[in-house]
Structure 1
């Protein structure tokens, strides 16, 4: 399934923000920042990326439900997608 640009706009924005934040964490480490500070920021990046994945799965599910109804959803495939994010 492919989602349209409008469906993924918010997800892409979130991922770009996480990408920039990751760059900041890398700079922190290169500049000798405290490990605790860098780990705190890295945890925030990790959470943002995870939320992006869940939002992508949820958006895809909504798209499938709107297009084909409940019978169009492959439950096993959906479960596999969710578990891939765990």
Structure 2
């Protein structure tokens, strides 16, 4: 596997983990579990999503810098990638 594929694989692992945690949150709410437990699990989901997003953006920035060093114009600037990560939709 190349570096790009490895980074996607890592992001997918994190997203699948978040997906499983989110399913657990939904089940907890349906079972009317304690709100503190639900919020704690939601924090885990949020953290997993943040990590996946950070990993994807960091790898994108690294790719842009590498492409720029090779004399290629990257499809997105570092500022654009940072904005994608930090600005909620």
TM-score (norm 1): 0.79
Mapped pair 1:82 → 2:80: no
Unaligned runs of 5+ in 2: none
- Per-residue deviation, residues 29-56 of structure 1 (Å, max 9, x unmatched): 1112101101110011011101111111
Count of residue correspondences: 83
Mapped pair 1:59 → 2:62: no
By how many angstroms is 1:70 displaced?
A: 8.6
Query: How many angstroms apart in 1 are the aligned matches of 2:66 and 2:7?
Result: 13
Identify the residue that residue 7 of structure 1 maps to in structure 2. Answer: 7
Query: How many angstroms apart in 1 are the aligned matches of 2:82 and 2:58?
Result: 12
Question: Structure 1 stretches (4+) deviating beyond 3 angstroms?
Answer: 70-73
SS for the counterpart of 2:16 is helix
